[in-house]
Homo-oligomer: A and B are copies of this chain.
């Protein structure tokens, strides 16, 4: 690969990506364009601009964008239509943000005529894969630079030396090593590494940043009603809101009630197990609500098919294949199922749990006329069940008869 001339860097404004910025300049002598996105991580973006300027980035090369609505509308919500969970429990909060960042990196690279993009993910994790597969799927020619896989700044000491040698300001609290590593966006906060590396030991309470401990949550339950249209949440307690506003509001509610904590050991795509602490307050509430509305509006054939492909869909997102034909095919299947998934769900939030306690819909398939224990006025003829069972049993009877015959 020939040396890149112009590189678009996913830049947070923090120490690590500042070092990368400088390293790109010195190692490749290339022009650096920074992209800083507000994905709802809860940090001010303007300091990133200042810091980029300080590091010599030209103003026209500094891209700072609020992509929260796009994030929730085009990534989070489509994923939640599938009730996607990875390995039974993880709501994919980090995985789903990466494709969007890559998409903007590639688009900016095309705008500014850059020949490469760069990111700050390490060579051990999933994020490098997600960034780079997304980029490859969007532009076959773009190069990806992953300094953590290339440089020799392999210890904290070396990094700090490099920073000092290059006049990169180091915040006081960054001198020492953080006790764990954090990623955050509007959907979740993940924490991993260091003090969390022993999966036998309970995570210390100070790791949690976005949810109160259930013990500290209100002693009284709170109820909330979420309204869906075509599988997407569109209103809370009757008030219509934009996608990002809904998720923000659910985060507040969930966080306040200690909802959405997960202590998890997962299988990374790169082949190793890792332990993470995830906080997905709003997402956890949303998943419970979506399941609730599907219970009355989704047919069993549709629902069981969705359930059966969900693990594969979740794996694709986890592994970084958002922009793959098979993810898009599964999305077409999922979206087809959601056309009448509309209605309202009532949830109870209390001490760490969100539970559906009621759901109603104009598109409900629930038929009290059929299911009732009372007289059903002929809606259902119980005698039909005899034939239904008889034919379902036929092959089992033939199997049993064979077994007998062979045993004789």
Contact = CB atoms under 8 A, between A and B. Distances in A.
Contacts of A302: 325-326, 329
A257 to B, nearest CB: 11
Copies per complex of this chain: 4
B359 A200 contact: yes
A124 B305 contact: no
Contact of A386 (B154, B200, B320, B384): B384
A357 B202 contact: yes
Given A214-B350, A360-B199, A388-B270, A400 B307 contact: no
Contacts of A87: 295, 303-304, 307
A352 interface: yes
A60 to B, nearest CB: 27
Nearest to A287: B88
A356 B375 CA distance: 46
B124 A382 contact: yes
A75 interface: no
Interface stretch (A161-169, A239-247, A332-340): A332-340
A271 B129 contact: no
Given A124-B371, A266-B295, A363-B402, 5 more contacts: A149-B383, A301-B395, A305-B326, A351-B351, A352-B352
Contacts of A351: 214, 350-353
Contacts of A28: none
B388 A199 contact: no
A41 interface: no
A261 B355 CA distance: 9
Nearest to A272: B370
Given A304-B326, A350-B352, A272 B337 contact: no
Interface residues of A, number: 132
A252 interface: no
A333 B310 CA distance: 14
A164 to B, nearest CB: 21
Interface stretch (A10-18, A32-40, A51-59, A136-144): A136-144
Interface stretch (A64-72, A190-198, A228-236): A190-198
Given A367-B398, A371-B274, A129 B389 contact: yes
Contact of A88 (B307, B367, B396, B400): B307
Contacts of A171: none
6 contacts: A123-B380, A264-B295, A323-B396, A332-B335, A351-B352, A365-B398
Contact of A388 (B88, B263, B356, B388): B388
Given A273-B365, A358-B200, A303 B267 contact: yes
A160 interface: no
A89 B287 CA distance: 12
A52 B89 CA distance: 48
Contact of A391 (B266, B271, B401): B271
A213 to B, nearest CB: 9
A392 B133 contact: yes
A334 B328 CA distance: 11
